[in-house]
Amino acid sequence: MSKAGASDHGFNPRLIAAVVAIGVVAFVALWALIALGPQLSNGNDGGGHALSKSAPGYAGIVDLSERAGADVSLWRSVTGEGYEDYEWLLVLTPTHRTKASEIAEILDARGGDKALVVLPKWATGRLPGQDVKPGWVGTGFPVTPDGDLLPTGHFGEVTVEAATTKPQRIAAEVAGQRFALDLPADVQTVEGPQLETLIAGPKGGAVLARLEDRDLYILADPDLINNLAFASREKAAGAAMLIDAVAEDAAIDALAFDVTLNGFGGQRSLLRFAFVPPFIGITLCLIAAGLLALWQAWMRFGPALRPQRAIPISKAALIANSADLIKQARRELDGADAYVTSQRSAIARRLHAPAGLDAQETDAWIDKHMRPGGELFSALARRLPLARNRHEFLADAQALHAIRKDLLRDS
């Protein structure tokens, strides 16, 4: 088979490596986005929260407060992210689906802070086939929230009502500050036995109320400070004066807009901890270790090793295995007589010794063919079987082998 045919029908290693690498990166990125998605989102989704630039959002008042020199923060956690030496006014913007227990959890977690709860009013959506810009809302209609939205343990029994009125301009005074306020049509108001009215509604109730024994405020109608209030200069000025008056009444140092009630919080979870300091270092080490393990499994250090036979096939292997067996049995010295006999027979056969000679006569005949001055074959033949240890046996055996090489001229 040609190389072209093999490559056409086989796997391309580079392609498979690229697929695996892309899969690993996509997997890690997916879990990172799941864990950090709420915090990484810009929040411009058309909702009623501080990140939204749509009509029911509060990005306008946040930007105006910052431009006016106020310290403004967006909190993405229940416990908050502010400085402990600051007095904060926590602005909560719940939705119609928010539970009273969620508001109570935030207020309890930030027990030392003061809070302004802005009640929801608008239900927004998009009509079928309607083309709307990103961050905008297609349509909306007012929906009066239930008083059960507010936790009774903090605000008591609260009733929310919508008065059928026309837009009107009223005079308001909070914390000694007087300003004009433009009330929208169908303005929402609240009433409750534990609430103190700061700005009254046109038909009773309170547009802005405060708890009698705590600095907890309720703004019944969000149109007074949301982006709808920035339709004109007068309404925007009224929204800024309203926030400033509440801050003056609560004697706070900074504003904090909560976005956890709107789904942009960084809740505690093991998955999120894996991608934030200080655990991000451990996550990166685990990812690096996994990539190194994958690389080691992919790359081989040399060709693949083939399994070897337990006993190799050759005369040398047979001799080596026999020698190892004798060594393990510690029977080396028992083979001295056999070794002498094999050497004697090999020399006599190759030198054509006379027939009928016994062992001693054969040794004497071999001695005659040796060079003068060396140790005789007969002496070594008598001494080798009497060896007392391996060293003596090895020395005499090597001497016999040297005589054989010298006489027969072989190895």
**Measured between alpha carbons, how far is residue 233 from residues 167, 182, 228, 239, 244 in Å?**
16, 11, 11, 10, 16
Helices (H), 41-123: 59-67, 100-109
3-state helix, strand, coil in the chain (%, to 5): 45, 15, 40
Pairing of strands 114-118, 122-125: unpaired
pLDDT (tens digit per residue) in 314-337: 777 777 887 788 778 777 777 788
pLDDT digits (tens, 9 = 90+) for 89-135: 999 999 989 999 999 988 888 766 789 999 999 887 766 666 666 66
d(CA 128, CA 118): 30
- Is the Cβ–Cβ distance between 164 and 178 less than 8 Å? no
- Mean pLDDT within 71-100: 82
Distance, in Å, from the CA atom of 187 to the CA atom of 207, rounded to the nearest integer, reads 8
Q: Above pLDDT 90, what percent of the chain?
A: 20
pLDDT tens, position by position, 231-243? 889 999 999 999 9
CB atoms within 10 A of CB 270: 8
Q: What is the Cα–Cα distance from 183 to 272, expressed in whole angstroms?
A: 43
Q: How many CB atoms lie within 10 A of CB 262?
A: 23
Residue type at 131 in one-letter notation: D
Domains of the chain: 30-125+132-267 (3.40.50), 315-408 (no CATH)
What's the chain's average pLDDT?
A: 81
For residue 273, which phi and psi values (nearest 5 degrees)?
A: -60, -30
